[in-house]
């Protein structure tokens, strides 16, 4: 059984890297519609801890994860596979 790679997406929340389809900015109208529809269907996971949504993570299982970290920060963590403490990347607040 293979070990899943997990990354920190802010405020103690973690996702499986192998299940990520896309990491996008929430600013465009199509992404806002996608998030709104997912909220109506109960498919969203809000990992922002009440902060502004800065990235939308589209998962393989048709779930949408909202994060307060920038897409570039999450991408960097996914590519390096390091914890934020190890990589020196600060969390956005």
pLDDT tens, position by position, 1-42: 677 899 999 999 999 999 999 999 999 999 999 999 999 999
- pLDDT value for 3: 79
Q: Would residue 89 count as lying in a domain?
A: no
What is the pTM (predicted TM-score) of this model?
0.84
C-alpha dist (Å) from residue 83 to 38, 65, 80: 29, 19, 9
Q: Would residue 29 count as lying in a domain?
A: yes
Q: Would residue 64 count as lying in a domain?
A: yes
Range of the domain at 33: 21-80
> Domain tally for the chain?
1
Q: Would residue 76 count as lying in a domain?
A: yes
Q: Would residue 14 count as lying in a domain?
A: no
Q: Would residue 57 count as lying in a domain?
A: yes
Q: Would residue 73 count as lying in a domain?
A: yes
């Amino acid at each position: 059984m293979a070990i899943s790679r997990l990354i920190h997406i802010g405020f103690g929340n973690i996702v499986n890297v192998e299940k990520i389809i896309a990491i996008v900015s929430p600013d465009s109208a199509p992404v806002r519609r996608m998030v709104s529809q997912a909220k109506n269907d109960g498919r969203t996971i809000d990992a922002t801890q009440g902060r502004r949504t800065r990235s939308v993570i589209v998962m393989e299982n048709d779930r949408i994860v909202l994060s307060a970290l920038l897409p570039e920060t999450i991408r960097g963590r996914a590519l390096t596979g390091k914890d934020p403490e190890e990589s020196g990347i600060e969390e956005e607040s």
